[in-house]
Structure 1
Amino acid sequence: MFNWYVLNKLTYSSVSLSAPRVNVGIVNGREAKPHSRPYMVSVQTKEHHMCGGFLISDRFVMTAAHCRNNSPVLTVVLGAHDLRKKSENSVRFTVDSYHQHPDFTMESFHNDILLLKLEKKVQLNDNIKWISIPAKEGDIEAGSVCSIAGWGLLETNGKRSDHLMETNVTVMNNMECESKWGKDDFSTSQMMCVYGNGGSCDGDSGGPLVCGDTAVGVTSFGDPDLCNSLKLPEVYIKIAAYIPWIKKITGNVN
């Protein structure tokens, strides 16, 4: 399995063909209506966007564990739409503590989930709200139409978007996804994948897969060579598989 630390040292175009790619942007998407996804978080290092994330309570942000590799100190920006604008009442928070899943390792994408406890409680408003996560374990039915959003690249090796982008995606049958990725890379119990006209790209890692009003997945990895690949679909960590661990860290959120 490919080592994320090495990936952070390389340009995306130089990653070996066998290495799954860290997701970062929305391809073939549309600009989201400003603040229509008030749970969205920009996870940043040195005040530069690196990953997506989402607010699951007034104290915790969920993102992907690999987002912290090579970046031990993160801050989060809440309530943003255009990351260049300081005037839209977005708020930057420092992270009080990092809670990476204990079984996540740099060698694989399994258990690629991270909880960020913020320095203080978030003051919720029209632009900043948390999103529900599943209350119990269970799968999303294949064929369900869901959505993703992020500030990642607009095309493979392309430019990043300063504005939040979004697109609809369809949940793929888990056994079909396993057949495309293989059992070493894809875990049917921990992961799910989607397909569609649009999809994630570099910089969208850690953002939510949203079905209805619930965040059901965390953007994790995809084809190393092509964003929104038909051959290797985008993979998301299945939040429902981690409910006991999440509750242990956060208390009973929501």
Structure 2
Amino acid sequence: MVSLQVGSHHTCRGFLVSKSFVMTAAHCFTWQVNLTAVLGAHDITKKENTVRIPVKFYHIHPGYDHKTLDNDIMLLQLEKAVEWSRTIQEIAIPKKDQEVKGGSLCSVAGWGLSEDGGRGEPHLMEANVTTESYRACRSAWKTISNRMLCAGGNKDRKGICQGDSGGPLVCKKKALGIVKFYQQKKCNSPTIPNVYTQVSKYLSWIKCIIKSI
């Protein structure tokens, strides 16, 4: 887990997919705002045992649409490679274009708000969530594409909130999704599921960026 910060302020999440790259959501990018990746943190208010590395390059998917949030994926190239430790490791991503079936048990974690209008959590919080079928996801969100997936929210009554963007949806120890959006002002009582970018749809692009460095 990576806290993406502007100065010392947490803005988005990400996750390590190699020693030099953090995967996150494209909507976490703001023009002329520099991000720093904070690694190894559990309590982001403490600097002990954490590593801070500025982002060198922002690789935004060329098909990203800021209006629909389609292709909402970005790779952040760090200024220097990370050294693996007990608290800093990469996470696996899927190896093929596989559909995420409904009813799968996954987890999501972050430092975002725990309730509407609340404050961000300094300690990393985690929740178990259940995936939805694409049909159920499309029924709830009319505008989603087959490059998105749904999990948590309406059935689980838990999931993501403000400040959780860009983090991973982890299923069987693999990051299958990237936090995209949720039902606004309904963190406490969602009636529809949370939406994620489906990582398996972008494997060719991911490999192309990482292998080019």
The alignment status of 1:123 with 2:83, answered yes or no, reads yes
State the TM-score, normalized to the length of structure 2. Answer: 0.94
Q: Give the residue type in structure 1 aligned to 2:163.
A: G
The residue correspondences of 1:74-223 to structure 2 (distance < 5 A) are 74-87=35-48, 89-182=49-142, 184=143, 186-187=144-145, 189-195=146-152, 196-223=156-183
Percent identity between matched residues is 48
Please tell me the root mean square deviation across aligned C-alpha atoms, in Å. 1.5
Shift of 1:228: 5.7
Stretches (4+) displaced over 6 A: none
Q: Give the residue type in structure 2 aligned to 1:233.
A: P
The residue correspondences of 1:18-57 to structure 2 (distance < 5 A) are 40-57=1-18
Shift of 1:72: 2.8
2:26 and 2:72 in contact (8 A); partners too: yes
Number of matched pairs: 210
SS of 1:176's equivalent in the other structure is helix
CA distance in 2, matches of 1:228, 1:241: 30
Q: List runs of 5+ in structure 1 lacking aligned partners.
A: 1-39
Shift of 1:225: 2.2
Shift of 1:231: 2.3
The equivalent of 1:242 in structure 2 is 202
The alignment status of 1:58 with 2:19, answered yes or no, reads yes
Q: Give the residue type in structure 1 aligned to 2:94.
A: P
Q: Structure 1 residues 224 and 71 mapped into 2: Cα distance closer, same or farther (>3 Å)? A: farther
The alignment status of 1:69 with 2:26, answered yes or no, reads no
Shift of 1:158: 0.9
CA distance in 2, matches of 1:140, 1:229: 25
CA distance in 2, matches of 1:177, 1:167: 20
Cα deviations by residue, 1:48-75 (Å, 9 ceiling, x for unpaired): 1001100001110000110113563111
CA distance in 2, matches of 1:67, 1:210: 19
Higher RCO, 1 vs 2 (CA within 8 Å, ≥6 residues apart): 1
Q: Structure 1 residues 228 and 59 mapped into 2: Cα distance closer, same or farther (>3 Å)? A: farther
1:200 and 1:228 in contact (8 A); partners too: no
